Amino acid sequence: MVLIDTSVWIALFRKEKNDIGQKMWTLVAENQASICGQIWVEYIGGFRKEAERQKHEKALKAFPFIEETRAAFEKAAALLARYPFLGPGDAIIAATAITSKTPLFTLDKDFSRLGDEGLLLF
């Protein structure tokens, strides 16, 4: 399983020209792409029009969902205290990946500083 960060979903939505689409669809074909609550909120919450939001909600419901645990939120608080540049949302995403031992597929360079915390990047 690989946790797909909001930055990847946004790049796919914008149809940005790069190799992430190929990597993503390989993960999808192998049923390895997953999401979590914070990613759901960040991505789906960005669509202001109800019809467009519902369309993307329907698509995202097809992906396995990694539940955030109390341990993930405790880890997120510790990460945020040590790395305030993350912000609460990214701290929750990183902590979810760390506590579930799931690699994170992201385009956000801030996550690269969390290898010593146990974050695996895809």
pLDDT tens-digit profile of 68-113? Answer: 999 999 999 999 999 999 999 999 999 999 999 999 999 999 999 9
When divided into structural domains, the chain yields a total of: 1
Q: What is the pLDDT of residue 50?
A: 97
Confidence of residue 10 (pLDDT cuts 50, 70, 90): very high
Residue 53 lies in a domain: yes
Residue 88 lies in a domain: no
Q: Which long-range contacts (CB under 8 A, 24 or more apart) does 101-106 make?
A: 102/1, 102/2, 102/3, 102/34, 102/66, 103/2, 103/3, 104/2, 104/3, 104/5, 105/2, 105/3, 105/4, 105/5, 105/8, 105/23, 105/24, 105/27, 105/33, 106/5, 106/7, 106/8
Q: What is the pLDDT of residue 97?
A: 98
Residue 18 lies in a domain: yes
Residue 24 lies in a domain: yes
The answer on pLDDT for 26 being more than 80 is: yes
Structural domain harbouring 29: 2-67+103-117
Closest CA to 106 of 19, 20, 36, 15: 20
Residue 84 lies in a domain: no
User: Measured between alpha carbons, how far is residue 118 from residues 8, 56, 76, 91, 107 in Å?
Assistant: 21, 31, 12, 13, 18
Residue 95 lies in a domain: no
Q: State the CATH number of the domain containing residue 63.
A: 3.40.50.1010
Residue 97 lies in a domain: no
